[in-house]
Structure 1
Amino acid sequence: MNYYLMLSNSHGDGVLSRYQNLRTEGRMCDVVLEAEGVEFPAHRTLLACSSDYFWSLFQDYTLESKAYMISLPALSSLGLEQILDFIYTSCISLSPSTLEVTLQAATYLQVNHAMHLCTDYISESIALDNCCFFANVAARYGLSEAFTVSNSFIASKMHRILGTEQNKAELLVLNHESLQEVLEVEEMPGVKEIDLLQLTLDWLDCNPLSALQSNSLLSRIRFGLVPPEELTQLSAFKPALRTPFIRSVVQKALHYHLQGPLQPLLQSVHSSLRVKRSKIVLVGGGPEADRPQNHILTYEPRSKKFGTLSTSLPNKLQHQGVCVVGNFLFVIGGEVVQVDEENEKTAVMTVTDQVWRFDPRFERWEEMEPLLQKRAQFACCVVEGVIFAIGGRGQKGEPALSSVERYNMHAGWWRSGVSLLHPVHGQACATIGAGIYISGGIHGNTPQSSKEMLFLNSFDGNAWETRSEMSVARFGHQMATVRGKIYAFLGMFEPFCEIECYSPEQDLWIILQPLHNDRFCYGLAATGGRRVLMFGGRKWQDGQEVCTTNVLEYDTDYDSWRELCKLPRPLCGTQCARMAIQDPPET
């Protein structure tokens, strides 16, 4: 025989509805619960089935199993009423004014489903004016999910909370565990570390802790992100910063601030921005050739959103070198372009030896030790914290350069490196481990582009070595390293769209899927995964150069291209790098 298990969705609700009618009418009630002098008739069987407390209370061997009146002095009458309403209807009416008494009763009576609804209420109702209250309630009653939600909300909205005195005052009564968890958060848009330090010190003034607990709380501050002048001033007046442990942490931060050129190599959690994901910065470039602008765009690959760096380049540059070390952005050499204000068609281009360093922690530019030689259209790369400037050209009309220089941050100056086999400019560069690879470019004063690939072991190599040539001669192209292979993209003034991949193990180039349209003077950045992004650039259209707005993505696994999005405006001649930049505050 076949048997079928059938389920009624209405039976349970019907039973509860009948119980509620009986309770309302005062019928068949066999127990009265009392809190604060208020009496609540109820039914033992339903209470026992809904509450672990009553299940234990009404066992046959207990005195309460026969009692008609049961007093609950630990509960408020409102809290008991709330829980009884839930037991009889499965519904509960919650507001900030009733939340805590409800939780108190639900916890005492062990009505777990009511506690779950309180958690849901906190998660769905959290806002700027109640988040600290909710965090405190969640901590007090062990609501782990609501506790996490509240702390995450506080961290994500910290800039706005600190922006109003009323909400800021709520932070001063935040429970210790929540504040500790908030200070651990990796991402806090728009919040300066000095504000977190001041908040913590103010909180400690209102909530005295032992030295051990105070040290634990303050150790979550990233002191390297606090301006040294303010850090020194606070240390002089705040006792919490003068305990032996915290004083040593503060002294390390002040020492870091004094290191100047060495700072990129001294990074730690105390000097790292509260940012989870890096962005791509697009340095320089403009809407037309030889007209660079000094703004810097930022691009977040996951959201595909563009922004603008808060500060601009010190100069309008083109053909510069760009790299990142220790999350400092270095902009090296290039051509400074000055446009005649009266005649915008006239521009003066001067090759420079200037080196600028941008610190996103304090959003400031600093001029560093200049190059030994003025360079433009050169190769720039970083190996183990050492910056290399390779080849390039000086002023227009001057011969190309074969010299190489290295910037050693321990010393803080540029020194000559292993020279190239011959002068070259317009070449591309990529690194794998300690190896530096450069390809193509124009050698000396010859007008033809090159297919050549050169290699240098930056640790102990004393000469550049030749490797297999590319299939196509390239100039003004770019290369990217993805998963141990080097990809060479497009080039300048050449009627081709070919892309090829180099395997160092095999010393072999392989031709890949071409881009459908030619492109040059584009920005290029590897995402850190298997993809490479191409930003803007110029292309030939009807016999003229046209600046584009496309952002294209190349997938190295599938050898395929797709268009991701559009730039805010046409852009060519930009240089790209990846670094952590704090998001602006939410509006």
Structure 2
Amino acid sequence: MDNCQSVEDSQTKEDSETVDDSETGLECDASDEYPASFLQRLHEFRSEGHLVDVTLCAEGKEIPCHRLVLSAFAEYFQSMFSGAHSESKKDKIEIGGVSAEALQLLVDIAYTSKFTVTTDNVQSLYEAANMLQVEHVEASCEDFLTGRLRPDTCLATWVFAHKVSNTYLSDMARSFALKFFEEVWTAEDFLDLPVEFLKMYISDDELHVKKEEEVIEAVMLWVKHDFEERQTHLKGLLEFVRFSQVDQDYLKNIMDTDKEFAEIPGIKELMKNQSSQARSCQIFQGEILLLGGITDGEDRHGIESTKPNCDMYRLDAHCSCVDNTPLLRSLHDSEGIAACVVNNDVIVTGGSKSLSQAWRYRPSDNSWTKLGSLRKKRYRHGMAVLQGKVYVVGGVNDEIRFSDPERIFSHHHRVFREETEVYNELTDSWHMVAPLQQAVSSFGITTCCQKIYVFGGHTLRNGTSVVQCYDHTQNVWAFVTPSPYTLQDIKACTVNTKIYLVGGNLDQVLCYDPCEDLYEEMAKPIVVWESASATVCGSEIFITGGNDDDYFCHTSPGSCMVQCYNVNNDTMIRVPDLPISLWGHISVTIPKL
């Protein structure tokens, strides 16, 4: 018999005299087949009208079903049928506030456990699940909406999330709209935005605008879409424009050519009396470089596998790929390289193949130059720039140790580096400075408040929560307050005077304030971010790629994704995907050429 095994059915007697081996039983487990067959029978009972004892009604539609099934499905119905409510004795119950289609879909889910969220049904299904307290359906709808934030959908999602009081979804949709203003205000949905939301939108300091003139253009487009109804809002909307940031020739031209604009009561005074405050989050003028790592591929038999990423990708401030070029051959298949930016150039060091090599990449002419070799071989190390100087810190090196004098047998021995090296531009050489207090690899490293910080990392035995700080004026590393968590494979990013830790084994952004010596938990990631990379662009941190599976075996759905964390409003949004799946790579930010 399937799913069964023989067991002794022993009978304990007083004084434990004997056990009768002749009596046996069968312990059976049908958990693989039973739930599906049970649901199927319930579904058939409903279809046949067998034992149905209640009818739900919405918008004139009647849905016969079983109280017991509904009670097991949602606490809302359990409470309704418990006896304390009048509905517990009614044969027909009107469910107000939900559409007939959504109610039918929820009842179908109760009997089948299966459902499909679509663009057409997501809002009505979410509202029904929210009202009837079906949390797993509500969560699926939220995931659907957050995963499909686009310039042409984010405003509608923002308005809807506000309507259903979903603060998390509302913040994400609003942040997405703020970041992609240029694409959002030219999308068709912009014209349907309620005026109170438009005011919140254009008044936000985090609005990403290349030129303030675009805000005026957006307001005028929205008003003229239904001028008779919306003209009364025009002056109130323009009060949120930062006129001091608008080109005077543009203002003169629009006053001469746009009758509706010129005839706004008090428009001249409005243009003169604006403060000089610019928006705090202008579009970052720079690019992101992605180097190294692992991507999808096929082995020589055509079977899906992984392969080293041998290209360097260049992304704009919206994370759209603008170019890709072959990576330096010496860096191919080299795990654990490190990189940093100094004087607009990228310095790359180490790696499992190059170990002690150092290179300078000049984005201005797409050229590579070999630098003087490191004093120590290393990979999975870190780099930072302090006072214009490049520092190389920590890492590991697999050294060969011979087992006998004739060197016939050997084995690899992993050496954790504590040494710190600094590059001398004049002599093209590296020299040693104070070593780390504790040797680590695969750690987070950044410069903040004129000091270098190293967070966590791997040690010989396990991960660590220690945090080490380098003071160049004293040439000394010292321990500071440790992280509240063990930190492995994380990235450290500095924005203003705070450090933000992302990726690796963290399940939220962790903010460290060196001045206050305090840690604070911030937003959670949208997708897995193990083996991801991170880099800072303005007040935003771009977290690229990642993998939640074995490092060299399988890719994960998040390996193409890019998450953007805004430190000013503590929101994490998903932006356009990478052109390839990628993990275990390095990302750096360079000024726009």
TM band (smaller chain): 0.3 to 0.5
When normalised by structure 1's length, the TM-score is 0.46
When normalised by structure 2's length, the TM-score is 0.46
